A and B are shown apart, each in its own frame.
Chain A
Amino acid sequence: MITVTDLRKVYQQGKKEVVALDGVTLSVPKGSIHGIIGHSGAGKSTLVRCLTLLDRPTSGSVSIDGTELSSVRDSEIRAARRRIGMVFQHANLMDSRTAAGNVAHPLELVKTPKDKTRTRVAELLKLVGLEGFENAYPSQLSGGQRQRVGIARALASEPEVLLCDEPTSALDPATTNEILDLIQELTSRLQLTVLIITHEMNVVKRVCNSVSLLSRGRIIEHGALEDVAGELDSQLARALLPLPPSFPLPGPLQRGPVLEIVFSGDSAKEPVLTGVARHFDMDINVLAGSVETLGGQQFGHLRVQLAENSDVDGVLGYLTDRGISARRVAPVAGAAPEFPDTLPDPDLPDPVVPNQGLHPTKEQGRHE
């Protein structure tokens, strides 16, 4: 279990103070995976540097299973670091070492006996599915294989916490899924506490149990995946359950009110819409929809249009009574409230329309 409490990091830049982390609090239980998602400049790298003690936090604390890390003496810093295994975006393997040599690297640092190192390395390479690649150099491995070596190396010192900084951002989609599945499998098998820093919602959807949205050094939304996904108003939910743009259909329905509905788990198994249609004796048109399995639960996000002059409040009440989150939105795509700071989502269908609340990232924006 890792606990971060009110972590602050202020960088001094000349006379100016840059607040990179502004009171970050989070806690991840053993055996679970927490995603931290945020724009560039949000403070993700700073958080990683504070967690790995490459940087000292200005204030606040980081602790693993109750042991305080952020205040250890310099002489104990290396021992403390060994409790956190780290996986990097580009694996950061040593080119002069074979796969086995890379995995042995952390063991060499504490003078592990040769035969013990050998068995441990073989064990770790097997664990990540790289049996038979002991003598391959990183240049002879694919990106996914290199990342597997990186994961094996991170696990060599038997850390309690695995910190993954954009572990799949340099990989193709198929390899991304393989690596994520491996991380998930290792998490439950070794009862690791895992933090994944990412800007890809796909990563969060696939493996995370919980997620935090980091923005300007603060966590502005957080929670278990199944909880945040059900909150229609949250930026995370919109990024988790994106809807394609839609326009009211022609015909008698075209002026009817438009609702967005998120239903989850049990409610998703009931015929919600049919229920509404029967109960209020009205026609309903589905404008857009998406269904995802998040945190082991099924979620549906629908945009529907009701008949003109229908009892919107009645329908909203009916849905809310059944534990379904629903709200009225503007009928035409583009008029919904804007979200100035939401996430770039590579999974979104193009074109991204403003009412999805998804703007290009700052980097993309610069190229325009």
Chain B
Amino acid sequence: MNDFFSNPVLVKALPEAIIETLQMVGISAFFTVLVGLPLGVFLHVSAPGGLRPMPVINRILSDIVVNITRSIPFAILMVALIPLARALTGTSLGPVAASVSLSIGTIPFFARLVETCLRDVHHGKIDAAQVMGSTNMQVISKVLLRESLPPLVAAATTTVVTLVGYSAMAGLVGGGGLGKLAYNYGFQRFDVSVMIVTIVLIVVLVQVIQLVGERISRSLDHR
């Protein structure tokens, strides 16, 4: 124990790494939901048999964008997106720049999860809402999203957990955070205590996210 607290790397670099990781996860989680949720809704609504079928656009978005992005391994995507990150944030280093590729990597993933959640809303509920005179927007907000809120929260939780993993990878190509710490000290300098501490911290972070997410999801579930 004493060993850990006297380790200068842990005392100096660890707090900063934690903050960087939280920044990366926080920023990219925000943008993933911001873009992924509407994208998922659109994919569902514009599908054949949906509220407002738009076969061509749906096909393009669904097949090309989503599938291609998902089939490129994240490590490659991250490197490929460095120019974009630089264009958007003015730098290719640091948690903010890394958040660009993190978000782009998880948006399609989350959108697909959203689409699946919405598909599980019983069609009778949509019929009922339409017969009572709902607009399409009202069906989306008052039925599709509201009725699938518990699984949506669960999907967001899964996505954030995935982001924690991705953020460790992003750390290696300039993002910083716990991933970089583990790599620089734990791997390159064989500092076992740094390795252990970062692993424990990442596991705890994942556990906390999972726990909070499940708690929220369950409290919203009245089925």
Instruction: Write the residues of chain A forming the contact surface with B, with a CB cutoff of 8 angstroms.
Output: 52, 54, 78-79, 81-82, 84, 86, 88, 90, 92-97, 105-106, 108-110, 137-139, 153, 156-157
Q: How far is the CA of A79 from the CA of B131 in the complex (A)?
A: 10
B189 within 8 A of A: no
B134 within 8 A of A: yes
CB distance from A163 to the nearest CB of B (A): 8
- Chain B residues contacting A54 (CB-CB under 8 Å) are 127, 130-131
Residue of A at shortest CB range from B126?
Answer: A92
Residues of B201-223 at the interface with A, using a CB-CB cut-off of 8 Å, are: 220, 222-223
Q: How far is the CA of A80 from the CA of B1 in the complex (A)?
A: 73
- Chain A residues contacting B146 (CB-CB under 8 Å) are 94, 96-97
CB distance from B154 to the nearest CB of A (A): 15
A-B contact list, 8 entries, CB within 8 Å: A88-B128, A92-B122, A92-B127, A92-B128, A94-B142, A95-B222, A96-B149, A106-B132
CB distance from B221 to the nearest CB of A (A): 8
CB distance from B45 to the nearest CB of A (A): 16
Inter-chain contact B125/A92, CB cutoff 8 Å:
yes
Using known A-B contacts A95-B147, A95-B222, determine if residue A157 contacts B132 with beta carbons closer than 8 Å: yes
B124 within 8 A of A: yes
Inter-chain contact B222/A84, CB cutoff 8 Å:
no
Inter-chain contact A109/B133, CB cutoff 8 Å:
yes
- Chain A residues contacting B127 (CB-CB under 8 Å) are 54, 88, 92
Q: How far is the CA of A138 from the CA of B125 in the complex (A)?
A: 13
CB distance from B79 to the nearest CB of A (A): 42
- Residue with the greatest number of chain B CB neighbours at <10 A, chosen from A79, A106, A137: A106
Residues of B161-184 at the interface with A, using a CB-CB cut-off of 8 Å, are: none
What DSSP secondary structure best describes chain B's contact surface? Answer: helix
CB distance from B53 to the nearest CB of A (A): 15
Q: How far is the CA of A108 from the CA of B128 in the complex (A)?
A: 14
Q: How far is the CA of A156 from the CA of B134 in the complex (A)?
A: 14
Inter-chain contact B143/A94, CB cutoff 8 Å:
yes
Q: Hey, what's the 0/1 contact readout for B142-156 against A, CB within 8 Å counting as 1?
A: 110011010000000
Residues of B112-128 at the interface with A, using a CB-CB cut-off of 8 Å, are: 122, 124-125, 127-128
Q: Which are the 5 A-B pairs with shortest beta-carbon distances?
A: A92-B124, A92-B128, A78-B133, A106-B132, A137-B222
Q: How far is the CA of A88 from the CA of B130 in the complex (A)?
A: 13
Contacting A96 at CB < 8 Å: which of B130, B132, B220?
B220
Q: How far is the CA of A109 from the CA of B122 in the complex (A)?
A: 20
- Chain A residues contacting B122 (CB-CB under 8 Å) are 92
Inter-chain contact A153/B132, CB cutoff 8 Å:
yes
Inter-chain contact B222/A82, CB cutoff 8 Å:
no
Q: How far is the CA of A90 from the CA of B123 in the complex (A)?
A: 11
- Chain B residues contacting A92 (CB-CB under 8 Å) are 122, 124-125, 127-128
Residue of A at shortest CB range from B223?
Answer: A95
19 extra interface residue pairs, beta carbon distance < 8 Å, beyond A94-B146, A139-B222: A54-B131, A78-B135, A82-B133, A84-B131, A86-B128, A86-B132, A88-B124, A88-B128, A93-B125, A94-B125, A94-B147, A95-B147, A96-B222, A97-B146, A105-B129, A106-B133, A153-B132, A156-B132, A157-B133
